[in-house]
Each structure stands twice: as structure tokens, then as C-alpha cells.
Structure 1
Amino acid sequence: MPTIPPERARPSEPEPHRARRTAESFGSDPERYDRSRPRYPDAMVERIVAGSPGADCLDVGTGTGIAARQFQAAGCAVLGVEVDARMAEWARRRGLTVEVAAFETWDPAGRAFDAVVSGQSWHWVDPVAGAEKAAGALRPGGRLAVFWNAGLPGPGTVEAFAEVYRRVARGSLAARQWVVPAGDGYAALCARAAEGMEKAGAFGEPEQWRFDWERSYTRDEWLDQLPTTGGHTQLAPAELEAVLAGVGAVVDAAGGRFTMHYTTVVVTAVRTGDA
């Protein structure tokens, strides 16, 4: 589901990569984050790996290692970079190698990679500085691929969810995620990522891929995930409690289960040049 505003930021709001307080808020409960967050389509992972010249992969904003483990399972050797030391430690305890740094200031120390990937995290990175850093870490022909899971339930459920947020958290980041279709909600993020790759001057023409899929959630599974998302980490405790109660009641009324219709959107480009 969306973790940042689906529409373009309002003039008074910082661009996502400047919102460091939110970017560094996810490590408060890494166990829940890792347990509840959706994975990525295997078809996406396979396409990125097949379109890269080798198996050395750098995962930017690796978090607890959700995407990193999927790329490992596909045969990649993965190094993670993560700004939150709590998330990095969680990933390390599960066998990943992770370095703690903001990607824009991370030092590749002469290492080169065949793919730089970033799942649900690139909006926390300066799009131009991040693309430049990725270009410096990629071998020629290497691939930069950044991706997000965007999702909405069916019309009746989404309207009922939206009413809960209007009632108890009007105007919040969490409430704004319901205002546009899931894929459209990430159009601004994709455009920003593609523009950053173009401005870096080291990539071919960016491409956009999409993968549509579904997941069924029980009431408890959905309420487990909600507090891990960016819009909800910033709610006051009483607001969050009211949201969870209201959303839980909606799922109960739907029979205790509902289906999320996901679109995984990918922006990707290939590193050009000889060095």
C-alpha cells in the first residue's frame, strides 16, 4: 500500500527525500515491519536479474531485507545500504551484509555492482544525487531499478476505509493515500525517479514496468501492517488507535477478509559508458 502521499506534495510539504524524520521512523518495530510488509513479484525480480550483466547487487534502503532476500534467492550476492541502524541490525541477524549510511553519502570504496535496486525506498533518496551515486557504483551495462508496491482494495472497501480516515485522521498523510487509483498514485514518484536518472547523464532511456497481482488479507494481518507505513508512523497514538479500530470494523463487516489489488511499479535504466 502507499507509504507517502499519492498526489504531488503540496507547496508547504517537503519533497519525500527531505522528510528524514519519516524516512527514519520505520525501525521502531523491525520485527513487525518484516513480518507484515508485502513482498515483490517473483516475475519482477527475475526480469531485473535477467537484464543485469551479473549477480552482484546493491540494495538501497534495504530495511529489514525483504527485497534483498528475494534477490538472494534468485542467485544474487547482495549488499544492503540502510540509513536506520535498527533495520540494518535486523537484516544482519538474518544473514545479510548491510552498511549503515544515507545512500547519497555512502562510500562504495571502489566496489562495482551489476544491479542497484531499491524497493519502497527511493523516494527517501535525492533522485539526482541517488542516480549519480548509483551510476558510480554500477559496472557499464549495469541496471538501476527502483520499485514500489501500490495497492487499493475493491471499491466498496476503499470507500469504507476512506470514511474512517476522514472521520478520525482527516488531512493526515495516512488519509491522503486513498484519493487516487493505486498505480496513478505513484506517477509522480516514477516521473521523479526517471528525471533523476536522465539528469545523472550516465544512463540510457529510463523504462517503466508494471506487475499486477493480488493478496488476500485477514483483519489481523491488515491491522498488523498499517502501523509500519509512513502515513501511520506519524499519527498520534490516539489517532492510530482510532484508525485501527475503524478499519478493523470495516474488515469485520466485510466478513473478516478482503483483497488488495497491487501494482508493482518499476523505473529502470541501464548504465552507459566504458567506466
Structure 2
Amino acid sequence: MTTPRDQRRVFGEVADAYDDVRPGYPAEVLDRIVAYAGGVPTSVAESGAGTGKGTALLRTLDTPLICVEPDPAMAGVLARRFAGDDLVSVVVSRFEDWTPPPGGVELLASAQAWHWVDRTVRTRLAAAALAPGGVFAAFGHDFGFADDELKTAMDAVYQRLAPEIADKPGLPANAQHPDSFHLSELHVSPLFTDVEQQLVVSVVPYETARYLTLLTTFSGHRMLPEQRRHRLHQALAELVDERGGVVEQKLTTALCLARRTGSDRA
């Protein structure tokens, strides 16, 4: 009997490719976190650190950083990336199973990963990981297109070959990003205050082959049956090549910020 694949764990199947082609984060994201916090935090934890895309940004704080990553393959790449760095420690664990340091940390961050944490407990766990007044910062890219005509043509390919992972029409920019959905949870929680979202926009070019590699790192693509994924990627490659062989990805980085309330632990 075949064991169903856990969509949260498919990234480890392509950990090296993920580290190679996934874009990092602009320095402006960290600048905004520090400004919101009112200064550089003295302790940081990261949930779902992956191969270290967000970690690389957080590391520039020169602050002790605990990276919590559930997938051993992803954590292996992360550990190699920061080998010998005394400020970075890697914990192979689900965030739900991780025990925060006594007193909590001043900043809890999550890059492109907070939506994988159990939504029934994640707000409470975030508060429990933070010192009173500490900052929660979740951020991640919404992958769009700088060329609207290319996007329209690609949408048609998805609707034809993989409608279950096609963009849903009629939603405003960034509305489909999974890390936007938890804003409402924080707004209604008495454990957090000063909840806000900020957007940072950048453009990253991908040549055809590299763009296809990028697609193989998205969980929706990885969950497709192999033959269907191959047909989809072949059709997308032909489309991109017909239009010059470069996809300009418009990255809208959503940054969600919130502050831990009160003087009591969660």
C-alpha cells in the first residue's frame, strides 16, 4: 500500500534545487522589521527555516538565531550553509513540537512557511515563543508576472493541463498568498496587537530552464502526477521560449507584523 505524501514535506525531495533557484528576500524587508520592533532584537527564532532563504536575511542582524525546520533534507542544506557560524543553530523539528528558550525570544520570524504550521494552535504557539512585547514577522513571496500578456497565456496552459493549481481568477494582487490568510487570526487574538501588513515589490528574471527548476520547488507542482507535471512544464517551456526565453517574476513580498501583548506568558 502506498503511503500518501505529506505536502508539507515535499520540499525535501528537491532541497538543493530549492536552495539554488528560490529567490531570497530584499534587505528592505528586514529594515521594516527592525523599524517596527524599534531596534535590533537580541534573540531571534525562525519557524520553517527551510534551506535558509529567510535565514540569510535574518543573519545580518548579528543576533543569536535559532532555526526550526521539520524536514531533515532541508535542514541538512541549512546546516551546511551556516556550518561554523556560532550565531546560527539548527533544530530539526516541527514548530508545533519545539520548546522555546525560557523567557521567549524578541523576534519570531517565518519566511514562506507559516501557513504550514497547524492553524489551530499557531497563534498561541507564536505568543508562547515570544517575550512580552516581542515581534512576530511572517513574510513570503507571491510569485506573479511582470508581463501581463505572458501571465494570461500561462493561465490558459494551467487551466488546460492542471486546473487544480491554476490561479483563481478575480482575486486582488497577493490575495492568494497563503501567508496573508493568518492576518485575521492575529487581529482577533488577545495575544497580539499592532497587527499590520506591508508589501515589498521586486522583479527577478528567470531563463526558461531555470524557471522550470523553480516550478519543481512549488508544492502544488510536486503533488501532481509525474506525467502530468512533465506535460505541464513542457507546455510552459514552449510558451516561454516563444516569448524570448525569459520569465520576469514579479515578487510581491507580503510582510505581516504583530506585537506580543501583556506581561504574562501565553
What is the TM-score of this pair, normalised by structure 1? Answer: 0.85
Structure with more relative contact order (C-alpha pairs < 8 Å, separation 6 or more): 1
* 2:175 partner amino acid: D
Q: Following TM superposition, by how much is the alpha carbon of 1:128 offset from its aligned partner in structure 2, in angstroms?
A: 4.8
Matched residues, number: 253
Aligned: 1:185 with 2:200: no
Distance 1:181 1:244, change over 3 A: farther
SS in 1 for 2:91: strand
The answer as to whether partners of 2:179 and 2:254 remain within 8 angstroms in 1 is: no
Distance 1:109 1:264 in 2: 29
Q: Among residues 111, 115, 121, which one is paired with 1:123 in the alignment?
A: 115
Other-structure match for 2:28: 43
Q: Name the counterpart of 2:192.
A: 203
Q: Could you tell me the percent identity over the aligned residues? A: 29
1:82 aligns with 2:74: no
Residues 20 and 124, structure 1, Cα contact 8 Å, conserved in 2: no
Unaligned residue ranges in structure 1 (runs of 5+): 1-18
SS of the counterpart of 1:247? helix
Is the alpha carbon distance of 1:197 and 1:269 closer, same or farther for their aligned partners in structure 2, counting shifts above 3 Å?
A: same
Counterpart Cα distance in 2 of 1:35 and 1:181 = 30
Residue equivalent to 2:167: 176
Aligned equivalent of 1:63, options 50, 62, 73: 50
After superposition, the Cα gap between the structure-2 partners of 1:123 and 1:101, relative to the gap in structure 1 and judged at 3 Å, is same
Shift in Å at residue 66 of structure 1?
0.8
Partner of 1:6: none
Residue 161 of structure 2 aligns with an amino acid whose one-letter code is V
Report what 2:11 is aligned to: 26
Task: Give RMSD over aligned pairs.
Answer: 2.1
CA contact (8 A) 2:140 2:179 kept: no
Match of 2:223 in 1: 234
> 2:85: which partner in 1?
none
Q: CA deviation at 1:177?
A: 6.1
Change over 3 Å in CA distance of 1:20–1:141 after alignment to 2: farther
